[in-house]
Amino acid sequence: MAEDGALVRRGVIRITDGREERTGDVVVDEAPFTLYLNGKELVTLVCLPRDLEELAVGFLYTEGLLRRKSDLHGLEVDRAQGVIRVTATPSEAEQGFLRRYVTSCCGRGRTAFYFVNDARNLEPVTAPLEIDPSTAGALMADLEKGARTFHLTGGVHAAALAAPNGIIYLYEDVGRHNAVDKVCGRAFLEELSTGDKLLLLSGRVTAEMVVKAARLGVPVLVSRAAPTNLALELAGTLGVTVVGFARGKRMNVYTYPVRVRFPGKTPSGA
């Protein structure tokens, strides 16, 4: 039985201390949706089948295929056919985009050389947002509490856009990239100012996550997991503060610590 368009109840044999029990369990659903841009097949996204408008827009935005809301002319989701159709102002990035199949768990499939050089064409984030460790810890606790699909299934990642005083948007998906794209798509559609916001992740910080944060203009990225070396190299180039292993009162600040107010640290501009 489908629930919430994304959850399915399945029969399961649960084994505890050698004893079998026939019961039910809720598992997360995933489905492929092929994205067409201006009538041309662009990519197939395997995703949690909800919040598809945000996913499509966020994907196009973080890939550089949409620059501003006025570029978006139409969006149609056909769930029966597994198709999302978007019409938009053509861009140079659209001509050079590499068609590929995007899985729910990994990266986008572009070569590292293309991806890194494309990312370094972005403008560095210069927003002067400052946070303290207690704020980052509290926001990560809110992310974990708000990840309701994860608590039901254990099968999704969560991402959120937050201000220092609380979470603004929270989305979940079977893929880390998809969850972040949904957040970015919502912010894009609402034309939200992001220079004073944080991007929160439940999963590891890869290079593409840093690029998405930079594309969105978010100065601080906080995750409960680890970053990769390439992610930190790009964060250094793109002006993004990366905080990893943010769990309770503990965390690691990897790049641009100027945005984090440590105990006893002199405030900026003082």
Tens-place pLDDT, residues 235-249: 999 999 999 999 989
Q: What is the CATH number of the domain that holds 228?
A: 3.40.140.10
> How many domains would you assign to the chain?
2
**Average pLDDT, rounded, for the chain:** 88
- 121 pLDDT band, cuts 50/70/90, is confident
**Domain membership of residue 59 as a residue range:** 31-110
Residue with the larger pLDDT of the pair 77 and 110: 77
Crossing angle of the two packed helices 207-216 and 176-189, in degrees rounded to 10: 0
Identity of residue 149: T
The Cα–Cα gap between 66 and 57 comes to 8
β-pairing verdict for 7-16 and 19-28: antiparallel
Residues 228 and 144 in one domain: yes
Tens-place pLDDT, residues 204-236: 999 999 999 999 999 999 999 999 999 999 999
Residues 149 and 192 in one domain: yes
Using the 3D structure, point to which of 110, 143, 169 is the last residue of a domain.
110
Residues 143 and 78 in one domain: no
Residues 76 and 140 in one domain: no
Residues 250 and 192 in one domain: yes
Rounded to two decimals, the pTM is: 0.88
pLDDT score recorded for residue 264: 65
Res 53 pLDDT > 80: yes
Q: Report the pLDDT averaged over residues 40-53.
A: 94
Using the 3D structure, point to which of 67, 95, 110 is the last residue of a domain.
110
Residues 200 and 254 in one domain: yes
The Cα–Cα gap between 52 and 61 comes to 14
Residue 152 vs residues 34, 200, 211, 219: alpha-carbon distances, Å: 27, 20, 30, 32
Within-domain flag for 7: no
Within-domain flag for 3: no
Within-domain flag for 197: yes
Q: Which residue among 47, 105, 106, 184 is the active-site one?
A: 106
Residues 73 and 147 in one domain: no
Residues 95 and 154 in one domain: no
Q: Report the pLDDT averaged over residues 128-149.
A: 95
Residue 131 vs residues 138, 222, 234, 254: alpha-carbon distances, Å: 11, 11, 21, 15
Q: Report the pLDDT averaged over residues 97-115.
A: 48
The Cα–Cα gap between 90 and 43 comes to 16
Q: What is the CA radius of gyration of the chain?
A: 19
Within-domain flag for 1: no
Tens-place pLDDT, residues 8-35: 898 999 999 989 999 988 899 999 999 9
Concatenated DSSP letters of 197-254: -EEEESS-B-HHHHHHHHHHT-SEEEESSPBPHHHHHHHHHHT-EEEEEEETTEEEE-
Active site residue 106: yes
